[in-house]
Amino acid sequence: MLEVLQAPDHVAAFAISGTLTGEDYDRIVAEVEARLARHERIGVLLDLTLFEDFTAEAAWKDLRYDLSKLFELKRFPREAVISGKQWMRIAASIANPILPHVEIRVFDPGAREEAMQWVSEV
């Protein structure tokens, strides 16, 4: 299930619980693209506290969309992830030095306000 969170207009913020579907991912892309149309740079916040899995369709759409934005990474300077899962912290620590112009930070569950403040500073 996908919830679009209330955020400043230059931040795309989502809470994902359960299994992310292709339809959910389409909503994410639409929301991100709408904000990119209004702002040169946006922050992205993902609350994955209750996230469990994603469908193959969602994974495929994610891969395609990520590749389409490869040369626009500077438009996403900060990405905040809220999760208690250790593997997400490891993934962020691996991605940070690899992704130019993007800083990814993982916040503990319950730190949504802190994450929102940080990601808003783009």
Domain boundaries, the chain: 2-119
Question: Residue 122: pLDDT band by 50, 70, 90 thresholds?
Answer: confident
Treating both helix axes as pointing N-terminal to C-terminal, what angle do 22-38 and 56-68 enclose, rounded to 10 degrees?
20
Give the pLDDT confidence of 11-69 residue by residue, as tens digits: 999 999 999 999 999 999 999 999 999 999 999 999 999 999 999 999 999 999 999 99
CATH of domain 2-119: 3.30.750.24
* Contact by Cβ (8 Å): 93, 60: no
Percent share of the chain, pLDDT over 70: 100
Decide: 115 and 83 in contact? Cβ < 8 Å: no
pLDDT-derived band of residue 100, with 50, 70 and 90 as boundaries?
confident
**How many of the other CB atoms lie within 10 Å of CB of 75?**
17
